[in-house]
């Protein structure tokens, strides 16, 4: 167990964490402003990945593929918001869960219909391929490093958007007092569509970026969606800061737990048992983390206290 391995795993955890942040940020923003729980957020992630794979296949350009991912997800998000989602704001959470579950069925099966069941592959562009040398003699994939950078940029961008722009003022007003924004003469339904599309674009971006290191297939979005829920429960609903901290915690716990728990168990028992027990426990580690946060602070690390 060398220092290099530890640093590599920490970087992997950060990379996983910032990608979860892209998902969790949209979810938490949509919940904070519109009070909507959106299970179909994972579908937007998937749509981003498929759009990217299609455009990359046709043009060979990775940047165009990313742009397409964001555009496709944002456009789908805006359309769905106008057609379905806006009818759900005044409904209870059960209706929201069911309607967005229905959307998952429609999007997943629809995508399978169009693209088939075989996974698609997105390639890392040549200018981001290969390892890069870090201080201390660590070789780390440049692409994963780029993902961390993108995640941090999005975090900064969101912070700037919410704290420093006119739209941000409206979003913060919307979190506190819906009537007030209406009184300020802001077109609230346009604002909601915009926020939904923004969250969708972030999910689409995450789908394309992660689809490049995994594969692009139907059903890829929901496991990530559920992890993003864990992130939100840990960070506190409606808080971008909470989403960021929660995402990094989940990313690091999941990655480091998978590597170190079996090692830890080897200190006490034979390697084979340690490997399987460690792997089983590692698969539960983030949920145990979530449970501990719930016991300690039921509304999450940065959530409003009840």
Partner 1 sequence: MIRERYLNLGVLALLLALALLARLADQSFTITVLTKVVILALAAAGLNIALGLGGLVSLGHAVFFGLGGYAMGILAFHAQNFAPLELGPLTIAGSKSMPVIWLTAIAVSALAALVIGLLSLRTSGVYFIMITLAFGQMFYYFSISWAAYGGEDGLSIYIRNGFPGLNMLDPIQFFGICFAVLCLVLLFSDRLARSPFGLALNAARQVPVRVETVGLSPMRLKLLAFVISGAITGLAGALYADLNRFVSPTMFSWQLSGELMVLVILGGVGRLIGPVVGAAIFVALEQLLGGLTAFWQIWLGVILLLIVLFARGGVVGLIAPKGVGHD
Please name the helix (run of DSSP H) or strand (run of DSSP E) that holds residue 228, with its range, or none: helix 221-235
Contacts of 98 by beta carbon, 8 Å cutoff, 6+ apart: none
CA distance 176 to 166: 16
Name which of 85 and 198 has its Cβ closer to partner 1.
85
How many other CB atoms are there within 10 angstroms of residue 248's CB atom?
A: 20
Q: Is the dihedral of CA 214, 219, 223, 225 positive or negative?
A: positive
Name which of 113 and 160 has its Cβ closer to partner 1.
113
Tokens at 37, concatenated: 């729980």
Contacts of 293 by beta carbon, 8 Å cutoff, 6+ apart: 233, 234, 300, 301
CB 5 to partner 1: min, Å? 22
Name which of 208 and 290 has its Cβ closer to partner 1.
290
Name which of 11 and 232 has its Cβ closer to partner 1.
232
Q: Can you give the binding site for partner 1, defined by CB under 8 A?
A: 31, 37, 39, 84, 87, 93-95, 97-99, 101-106, 108-110, 112-113, 222-223, 226-227, 229-230, 232-233, 237, 276, 279-280, 282-284, 287, 290-291, 294-295, 298-299
CB 284 to partner 1: min, Å? 5
CA distance 158 to 247: 15
CB 87 to partner 1: min, Å? 6
Contacts of 287 by beta carbon, 8 Å cutoff, 6+ apart: 230
How many other CB atoms are there within 10 angstroms of residue 15's CB atom?
A: 26
Name which of 151 and 278 has its Cβ closer to partner 1.
278
Name which of 147 and 227 has its Cβ closer to partner 1.
227
| End-to-end CA, the chain | 44
| Residue pair 172/238 in contact by the 8 Å Cβ criterion | no
CB 253 to partner 1: min, Å? 13
CB 295 to partner 1: min, Å? 7
CB 76 to partner 1: min, Å? 15
Q: Which of 167, 144, 147 is nearest to 155 (CA)?
A: 147
Name which of 71 and 84 has its Cβ closer to partner 1.
84
CA distance 87 to 10: 43
CB 244 to partner 1: min, Å? 17
């Amino acid at each position: 167990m060398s220092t290099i391995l530890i640093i590599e795993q920490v970087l992997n955890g950060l990379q996983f964490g910032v990608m979860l942040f892209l998902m969790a940020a949209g979810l938490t923003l949509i919940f904070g402003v519109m009070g909507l729980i959106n299970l179909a957020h994972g579908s937007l992630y998937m749509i981003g990945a498929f759009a990217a794979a299609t455009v990359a296949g046709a043009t060979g350009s990775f940047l165009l593929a990313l742009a397409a991912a964001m555009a496709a997800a944002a456009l789908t998000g805006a359309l769905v918001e106008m057609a379905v989602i806006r009818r759900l704001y005044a409904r209870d959470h059960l209706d929201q869960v069911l309607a967005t579950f229905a959307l998952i069925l429609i999007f997943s099966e629809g995508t399978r219909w169009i693209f088939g069941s075989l996974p698609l592959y997105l390639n890392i562009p040549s200018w981001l391929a290969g390892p890069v040398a870090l201080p201390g003699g660590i070789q780390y994939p440049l692409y994963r490093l780029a993902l961390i950078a993108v995640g941090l940029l999005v975090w900064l961008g969101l912070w700037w958007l919410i704290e420093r722009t006119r739209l941000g003022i409206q979003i913060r007003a919307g979190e506190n007092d819906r009537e007030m924004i209406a009184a300020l003469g802001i077109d609230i339904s346009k604002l909601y569509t915009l926020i939904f599309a923004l969250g969708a674009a972030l999910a689409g971006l995450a789908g394309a970026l992660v689809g490049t290191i995994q594969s692009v297939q139907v059903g890829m979005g929901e496991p990530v969606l559920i992890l993003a829920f864990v992130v939100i429960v840990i960070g506190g609903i409606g808080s971008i800061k909470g989403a960021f901290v929660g995402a990094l915690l989940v990313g690091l716990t999941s990655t480091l737990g998978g590597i170190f728990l079996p090692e830890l168990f080897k200190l006490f028992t034979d390697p084979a048992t340690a490997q399987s027990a460690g792997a089983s426990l590692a698969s539960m580690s983030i949920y145990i983390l979530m449970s501990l946060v719930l016991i300690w602070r039921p509304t999450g690390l940065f959530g409003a206290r009840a």
